[in-house]
Amino acid sequence: MGKQSPKSPASGVHRAVPFLHVADVEASVAFYALLGLDENHVLRGGDGGAFWGHVWGSGAGDRVAEVMFAKASDPVVPEQQAVLLYMYTTDLKALRKRLLAGGVSDGGAYCGQAGPNKGRRVVFEISHPDYMDEGEIRVADPDGYCILVGQHEGWPDR
């Protein structure tokens, strides 16, 4: 299969948003703010506790990065989550510094292990895999979800 795909009809899906079950919606919203995503909306129950949240941030051109969160009814076990978020930035070094300054733990070089904090709130050193010459970091959010962030000057080619 090639990279070409037919133009989607107007009735087709035009946007997909990752939706994560998390232990603490407010903690997740605050963590993703360190990645540059702003709180768009948070819903609260009668007790004042957040049960749903949405964050987003402007990308290149009209592109938008966004994630939704819902309070999990059971404990979140990172090893059982079959999701990986891939994000892009134009300044990977600055983003990593921002995460560290925001209290995210330094995991050093990634070697296949979860790192400090039982694999939560961790950022690893910049690596340069074959598919991302400009560099990539591995980040674990408060629930241990894996976020890979690649440096790319523009939106990736389709």
Residue type, 72: A
Strand ranges across the sheet with 64-71: 19-22, 64-71, 50-58, 38-44
pLDDT tier for residue 8 given thresholds of 50, 70 and 90: low
pLDDT by residue (tens digit) across 58-96?
765 566 789 999 999 999 887 787 788 999 898 999 999
Residue type, 127: S
Q: What share of the chain is helix, strand, coil (3-state, %, to 5)?
A: 15, 30, 50
What is the C-alpha separation between 64 and 49, in angstroms, rounded?
27
Q: Which of 24-38, 68-82, 104-118 has the lowest mean pLDDT?
A: 68-82
Residue 139 predicted with pLDDT over 70: yes
Residue 107 predicted with pLDDT over 90: yes
Mean pLDDT of all residues belonging to the chain: 87
Residue 20 predicted with pLDDT over 60: yes
**pLDDT for position 36:** 92
The enclosing H or E element of 97 equals helix 92-101
CATH numbers and ranges of domains, the chain:
19-73+81-151 (3.10.180.10)
Strands 146-151 and 84-89, sheet pairing? parallel
> What are phi and psi for residue 132, nearest 5 degrees?
-140, 75
Nearest to 142 by CA among 19, 31, 34: 31
Region at 110 (left for phi over 0; alpha for psi -120 to 50; beta for the rest): beta
Residue 158 predicted with pLDDT over 60: no
